[in-house]
């Protein structure tokens, strides 16, 4: 058994070996579970709407070795590590301090079948049971180390094999496009990567580090959207709603070689200052059953020049027959680009029972302000599940071809890795991406250039790494 405290540079180690500082006793503890219970005298039992784990405080009994002076230096070094951990919690500065544990350690910690947990604070105590003069017993300084750590343990970092139509169990960087056009006509233009649940170990959601390499030469990448689907039938959900699949309405289909599916839905007769019913799209029973009442970001691509979008306002409805079962508030779109996350919505807008869900329609309503008279071309809607959801947007230099945008949810960091070194020229909006253990899941992507355009043949490659998280060892 091996226990050590380290910040990656400084190391204090204890083991059951006969040489070195001796680990006399240590047992990892399971975190306490706290919750808020909502109870009513009118209902049996109760609900737990808020629940969380508490960080863990543990004690290790140790015996220091070496000369008395060497033992005191080692003890002071450990105290400095604990002070560094407290400073990190207050300021976010400095290296993290880890407690690293190997249940079957042989005197070496090599990050294989070993575990780490971030230390938040700690102190070294004298054990009165061993008090003999200067706390010495057979030339060993005896102590209790009391430390507080995160409630989970992290395993070794592992690269995850990724799969889509462009590769199976890929580790070299899986190609994705900026649309979902898989099929014979368009080859393998897909915008997702699939992760096999058998590859995600542990018993807690684990953050993932994504390496997104721009492979598109024409324009730099300026914004990337990422949706995560684990609870809405990832392998069965068809998250694509093509504009040209609309039923008869205000728009018309126009062929376009630069559009997903080869067509856009064009709106040309929108009179200013009037709400139009627009078009409707069928949401099939299979799609609604797969969605399972989860929340989705409705992401649209407009082939129209981005500036034209500022003249429009929209509403989104869900209807069954003539009846409206849900309607959004009116919303506008800024001129940020052709990829537009319109709104978050629950699909269907209730938690469905088991079995199939009856089909309904999605309706887009349009309102044009006076002053804009250009056509509005809608290419597609994509349903991005929001089990995790993030937007990465450049604030300085955009992503050159060949450079890699690193979205590190493990360390909560976003940066660009390129020929000139690492730069912090992107910022994150939204959540960290957290993978669910032992569950099949998919990550969806959308991309836009630094000036806002979103070419459907824009490409990048994806690699994914994670550290499995465990409550108990």
- The residue with greater pLDDT, 55 or 308, is 55
List alpha helices for 298-422, DSSP H: none
Average pLDDT of the segment spanning 391-398: 92
- The residue with greater pLDDT, 128 or 222, is 222
- Could you tell me the pLDDT band of residue 382, with boundaries at 50, 70 and 90? very high
pLDDT at residue 194 tops 50: yes
- Could you tell me the pLDDT band of residue 215, with boundaries at 50, 70 and 90? very high
Cα 132 from Cα 361, distance rounded (Å): 80
Hey, what are 380's tokens?
Answer: 């597609």
Give the CATH superfamily of 234-386: Galactose-binding domain-like (2.60.120.260)
At 335 the pLDDT is 62
pLDDT tens per residue across span 422-471: 888 999 999 999 999 999 999 999 999 998 889 999 999 999 999 999 99
Domain chopping of the chain, boundaries:
2-152, 157-230+387-473, 234-386
pLDDT tens per residue across span 57-67: 999 999 888 88
Tell which residue, 55, 199, 41, has the closest CA to residue 118: 55
Residue 299 CB contacts under 8 Å (≥ 6 apart), including other chains = 225, 227, 339, 340, 341, 342, 381, 382, 383, 384, 446
Cα 212 from Cα 415, distance rounded (Å): 11
Q: Contact 409/418 with Cβ under 8 angstroms?
A: no
Hey, what are 8's tokens?
Answer: 């990656």
Residue 331 CB contacts under 8 Å (≥ 6 apart), including other chains = 313, 314, 315, 342, 343
List residues bridging with 260 in a β-sheet: none
Give backbone dihedrals phi and psi of 285, rounded to 5 degrees, phi first: -60, -40
Q: Contact 281/247 with Cβ under 8 angstroms?
A: yes
pLDDT tens per residue across span 87-120: 999 999 999 999 999 987 655 666 667 899 999 9
Dmax over CA atoms of the chain, in Å, equals 94
pLDDT tens per residue across span 137-150: 556 678 899 999 99
- The residue with greater pLDDT, 23 or 48, is 23
Cα 446 from Cα 299, distance rounded (Å): 9
Average pLDDT of the segment spanning 168-191: 90
Cα 249 from Cα 270, distance rounded (Å): 12
pLDDT at residue 254 tops 80: yes
At 134 the pLDDT is 45
List residues bridging with 340 in a β-sheet: 300
pLDDT at residue 216 tops 80: yes
Highest mean pLDDT among 246-255, 343-352, 380-389: 380-389
At 133 the pLDDT is 44
Taking the CA atoms of the chain, what radius of gyration do you get in angstroms? Answer: 28
At 419 the pLDDT is 72
Average pLDDT of the segment spanning 159-163: 98
Tell which CATH classification among 2.30.42.10, 3.40.50.920, 2.40.30.200, 3.40.50.300 matches the domain 2-152: 2.40.30.200
At 367 the pLDDT is 87
Chain length of the chain: 473
- The residue with greater pLDDT, 376 or 295, is 295
List residues bridging with 125 in a β-sheet: 144
What's the Cα-to-Cα distance from 379 to each of 140, 255, 259, rounded to whole Å?
Answer: 74, 11, 6
Cα 359 from Cα 255, distance rounded (Å): 28
Q: Contact 6/12 with Cβ under 8 angstroms?
A: yes
Average pLDDT of the segment spanning 292-318: 87
Hey, what are 322's tokens?
Answer: 């003539």
Average pLDDT of the segment spanning 192-221: 96
Mean of per-residue pLDDT scores for the chain? 90
Instruction: Kindly write down the DSSP assignment for every residue of 5-26, as one continuous string.
Output: EESSS-EEEEESSSSSSEEEE-
Burial 176-204 (b: 16+ CB within 10 A, else e): bbbbbbbeeebeebbbbbbbeeebbbbeb
At 131 the pLDDT is 47
Give backbone dihedrals phi and psi of 198, rounded to 5 degrees, phi first: -65, -20
Is 80 in a helix, a strand, or coil? helix
Count of other CB atoms within 10 angstroms of residue 218: 10
Beta-sheet strands, E only, within 234-359: 240-242, 252-255, 263-267, 275-276, 280-283, 294-302, 312-320, 323-327, 331-332, 339-347
- Cα torsion at 99, 104, 109, 111 (round to 10°)? -80
Q: Parallel, antiparallel, or unpaired: how do β-strands 158-160 and 460-466 relate?
A: antiparallel
- Could you tell me the pLDDT band of residue 128, with boundaries at 50, 70 and 90? low
In terms of pTM, does the model score above 0.75?
yes
Q: Contact 410/440 with Cβ under 8 angstroms?
A: no
At 191 the pLDDT is 97
């Amino acid at each position: 058994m091996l226990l050590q405290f380290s910040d990656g540079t400084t190391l204090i180690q204890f083991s059951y070996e006969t040489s070195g500082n001796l680990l006399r006793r240590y047992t990892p503890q399971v975190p306490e579970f706290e919750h808020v219970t909502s109870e009513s005298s009118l209902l049996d039992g109760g609900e737990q709407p808020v629940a969380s784990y508490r960080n863990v405080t543990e004690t290790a009994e140790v015996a220091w070795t070496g000369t008395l002076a060497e033992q005191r230096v080692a003890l002071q070094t450990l105290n400095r590590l604990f002070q560094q951990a407290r400073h990190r919690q207050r300021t976010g500065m400095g290296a993290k301090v880890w407690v690293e544990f190997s249940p079957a350690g042989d005197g070496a910690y090599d990050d294989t079948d070993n575990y780490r947990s971030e230390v938040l604070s700690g102190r070294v105590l004298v054990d009165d049971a061993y008090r003999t003069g200067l706390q010495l017993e057979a030339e060993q300084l005896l102590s209790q180390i009391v430390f507080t750590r995160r409630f989970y343990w992290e395993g070794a970092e592992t690269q995850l094999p990724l799969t889509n139509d462009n590769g199976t169990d890929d580790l070299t960087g899986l190609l994705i496009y900026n649309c979902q056009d898989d099929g014979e006509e368009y080859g393998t233009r897909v915008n997702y990567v699939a992760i096999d649940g058998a590859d995600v170990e542990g018993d807690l959601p684990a953050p993932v580090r994504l390496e997104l390499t721009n492979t598109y030469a024409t324009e730099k990448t300026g914004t990337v959207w990422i949706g995560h689907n684990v609870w809405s039938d990832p392998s069965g959900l068809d998250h694509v709603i093509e504009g040209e699949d609309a039923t008869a309405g205000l728009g018309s289909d126009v062929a376009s070689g630069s559009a997903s599916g080869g067509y856009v839905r064009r709106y040309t007769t929108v009179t200013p200052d009037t709400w139009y019913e627009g078009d409707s799209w069928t949401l099939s029973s299979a799609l609604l059953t797969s969605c399972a009442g989860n929340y989705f970001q409705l992401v649209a691509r407009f082939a129209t020049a981005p500036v034209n979008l500022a003249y429009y306002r929209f509403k989104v409805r869900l209807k069954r027959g003539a009846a409206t079962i849900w309607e959004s508030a009116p919303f506008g779109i800024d001129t940020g680009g052709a990829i537009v996350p319109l709104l978050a919505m629950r699909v269907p807008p209730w938690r469905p029972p088991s079995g199939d869900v009856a089909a309904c329609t999605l309706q887009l309503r349009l309102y044009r302000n006076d002053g804009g008279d250009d056509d509005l071309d809608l290419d597609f809607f994509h349903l991005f599940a929001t089990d995790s959801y993030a937007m990465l947007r450049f604030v300085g230099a955009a992503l050159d071809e060949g450079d890699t945008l690193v979205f590190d949810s493990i360390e909560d960091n976003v940066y660009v890795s390129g020929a000139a070194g690492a730069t912090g020229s992107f910022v994150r909006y939204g959540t960290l991406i957290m993978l669910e253990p032992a569950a099949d899941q998919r990550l969806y992507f959308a991309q836009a250039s630094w000036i806002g355009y979103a070419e459907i043949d824009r490409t990048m490659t994806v690699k994914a790494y994670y550290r499995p998280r465990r409550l108990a060892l």
